[in-house]
Every structure is written in structure tokens, then in C-alpha cells.
Amino acid sequence: MPLKILIANRGEIALRILRAAHELNMETVAVYSMADQDALHVKLADEAYCIGENFSKDSYLNMENIISAAVLSEANLIHPGYGFLSENPLFRRLLRACSIGFIGPSEETMEAMGDKARAKELAKNAGVPVVPGSDGEVNSYEEAIPVAREIGYPILVKASSGGGGKGIRIVEKEEDLKGAFSGAKNEAKANFGEDGVYLEKYLRNPRHIEFQILRDQHGNTVHLGERDCSLQRRKQKVLEESPSPSLSQSLREKMGASAVALAEASDYLGAGTIEFLLDDHGNYYFMEMNTRIQVEHPVTEMVTGVDLIKEQIRIAMGEKLSFDKEDIRFQGHAIECRINAEDPLNGFAPSPGNIDFLHFPSGKDIRVDSGCYTGSKILPYYDAMVAKIIVHGRNREEAILKMRSALYELTIQGIKTNQLYQEEILSHDSFLSGAYHTLTLDQLRG
């Protein structure tokens, strides 16, 4: 009897997991909110269970209903995808208590790496470079003053938990510290339920480089190269590529070794991402670890040929990696563009609604990950991603031309998207030269 996997997510990542599971001869269980009853992952799964009303808190974040669906369907494993409950230690702990497997690391690793201050300390102990900052959380404004002076302005006040650019304040001078400290704590409390913050040196115009790692239960740890995720709008990734145009081979090897060292030090299990900041002098610093699959994982798959979702599943089942470190071959260049339902001409306001017509590009080395189709809806309750367009070329120049062609063919009617915005990025001098950083898009356009 085939194993059965419940996919605790929606949209393109739910479909991505579903297809990988079917290719591994596993039965699939979809869960869905009432708003998602016509979603593709619901239609294509072997079984499907409604887990609540439209909003995430009533459905995709409802642990009790998801676990009930797993018990009812007799699922052996749960894949959380990304977002929602993917990095929730309590959910992981409850699944263990119910004897349901989880595709991801232990709750102890989640807790350690989810707390930015603890993760930074773990990185330091593993010999991984970290951005100069406070030793753990700073509890008061009065305590922050001497710490900030020692670090040297400009600094960042950052929430210890959470992400997505929330709970972060840039402080250029000491007279701004009090307001920034209070603001970061309040935003952290409102978004993550905890108000812990720490201080860190602010790096001007850094690049955001992340390394994909895999580690199995048998002690095998590998990295699968880097992704350059520096093209961000208001701290949200827009376009990613691999390999990074800013890394020399020697620097790539150093950063990859640091990623492996931290994965081993944290006793990591599964697929994870070590994120670094890289300054314009070639110095890199650990930023955080994401203990889940990433939205941008396809670019790594395109340049290595490794199916990350299948490896995740195999690792969770106790198997070894399906390849050895020596088998990894990095070939060509890959780019991913995130196509979102938003209006760039109106402050990137969300653009939910009906998709009246949808045509995706196709051809050699063009991949589209999407849960949308003609007649489907972009719902106001969730992330507004329509699709990820991913291309692979023999080199960066070929990949850029292929992505331009793919975006030219992409046709979406009925909603506004950032398609033309992505085309503008691909033609801009800063992108073509590879000389971009995390603030490039904010400086080009609001």
C-alpha cells in the first residue's frame, strides 16, 4: 500500500508537492479553505478535506483541523510547504504526539533557528561570520544606548522572531534610537506575539545571497549552491537567479562551507536555506536560516537537476540522499520571476479578481509553477502570487533572453499584474551588469 502525504498548504507549492509525491508513488491528501474549493490542488489530489472558512487563521493555520484531516485520511506524513505552519514548532510537536510524520526539521531546531538572536549565537559558535551586534536581546532603551554606541551607527533594531521585513528599524543617529526601539518592539508584538529585539550593524547596499542545503538522518550534508535574492521591493523578493553574478568561485566555496557548518551545528534535517548578507568588499555575514523549502527553490533545481521536494520526502522517510556530494554538477544559469496580482502603477496595490484568460509560456528549459488557470480567482485572503516563471540557459545572457521571451508570451487578462515591471527589471542596466543590491528596486521605483 502506498504511503500517503497530506499537503498543508495551497496554490503553486501545494501542486509542486503533490506532483513530487505522485512521482514517488505516494497518495496525496489536499486540505482547503471554503474559498479554495475549486483550486487545482483540490482537484488533483487523491483525497481532499475542507478545513475551515476563508481566512488563513480559520483554515491553513488551524492546527486542530489539519491534524483531524490527517487522522481521518490516515496520512503518514505532512508536508507544510512554505509560510503558514511550515516553521511552527508547536505544530511539529503536536504531529509527533499524534505519530504523524513531518517533512522538515525537529521542533528544537525550528525554535533555535527561528529566534534570530539564538541563531546568530549558534552561527558564531560554528565559526560562521555574523554581523556585529548585541549579544542576544536588548530589553530596554537604556540598555540599547551603550550597545548601539559600541556597534557604531547606522544600526538596525530587529525583532528576534518573525520575518518579512516586520519589526525592523534603521537608526542613523542616537537621537532616533528611542523611537525606533519602541516602534520595532511594538510591531514585533503585533505581528509575532513577542516583542524581543536585538541590535545589529546596518550594512549599506548589501547583496542577499542564500545557500540551499540538504541534510539527511545519516549525517550526509551538502549545499547546492547559491541563489541571489537581492532584487527586492520593500524587503519582498521579486526576482532570483543562480548562480549569483557577484560571487567568485573562491567566495562561493567559503560561503558554501559556512552553510554546511551551520546546518551540522544545528543538527538540521531536510531542506533548508542559510541566508547571508554580502557587502561590497566581499565580506559575508550570516543573516538567518529558513527551516523549510523556499519559494525560489526552482532556480536551484534548474542548475543542479536535483528535485528538492523529493529529497525532502525521502529524508523524512529516513532514507539517505539520492546522490553523493561528488555527483553535484552546476550547469548554466537560472532566473525566476514572481508574477503577482498587483498594480505597479497604483503603489503595487493588490489586484484580486477573476482571471478571464491565462496563457503560460512554454518551450525548452522554461518552467511555470502556478495554481492558476483561466476562470480561477485570485483571492483577497492569501498571497497574491499568480505564477513563478523559471528559465534555464547555458549562461546568464541566454537565460535573460529566454526570460524576456517567456514574459512576452505570458498573457493574463482580468487582473493587473507586475509582468511589465519584471520586464523593466530585465532591461535595466543595474540588472544586466549584475551590479545590484537589496535597495536597487526601491531606489529605481517605489
| pLDDT of 1 strictly over 70 | no
User: Cα–Cα distances in Å, from 259 out to 25, 159, 224, 334, 427?
Assistant: 32, 23, 10, 21, 32
Q: Can you tell me the mean pLDDT for 34-60?
A: 97
Q: What is the pLDDT of residues 60-110, one digit of tens each?
A: 999 999 999 999 999 999 999 999 999 999 999 999 999 999 999 999 999
Residue 228 pLDDT level (bands cut at 50, 70, 90): very high
Predicted model pTM: 0.90
Per-residue pLDDT at 162: 67
Per-residue pLDDT at 95: 97
Q: Which are the contacts of 292, defined by CB distance < 8 A and separation ≥ 6?
A: 80, 81, 82, 86, 87, 104, 271, 272
Instruction: Give dist(CA 48, CA 328) in Å, integer.
Output: 37
Per-residue pLDDT at 445: 61
Mean pLDDT, rounded, of the chain: 95
| pLDDT of 442 strictly over 70 | yes
Instruction: Give dist(CA 370, CA 39) in Å, integer.
Output: 11
* 193/253: higher pLDDT: 253
Catalytic-labelled residue, pool 207, 215, 227, 292:
292
Q: What is the pLDDT of residues 363-382, one digit of tens each?
A: 999 999 999 999 999 999 99
Percentage of the chain exceeding pLDDT 90: 91
| pLDDT of 385 strictly over 50 | yes
**Residue 353 identity (one-letter amino acid):** G
User: Cα–Cα distances in Å, from 234 out to 166, 169, 231, 316, 439?
Assistant: 11, 13, 10, 35, 8
Per-residue pLDDT at 176: 95
Q: What is the pLDDT of residues 179-191, one digit of tens each?
A: 999 999 999 888 8
Whether residue 292 lies in the annotated active site: yes
| pLDDT of 165 strictly over 80 | no
| pLDDT of 446 strictly over 60 | no
| pLDDT of 320 strictly over 70 | yes
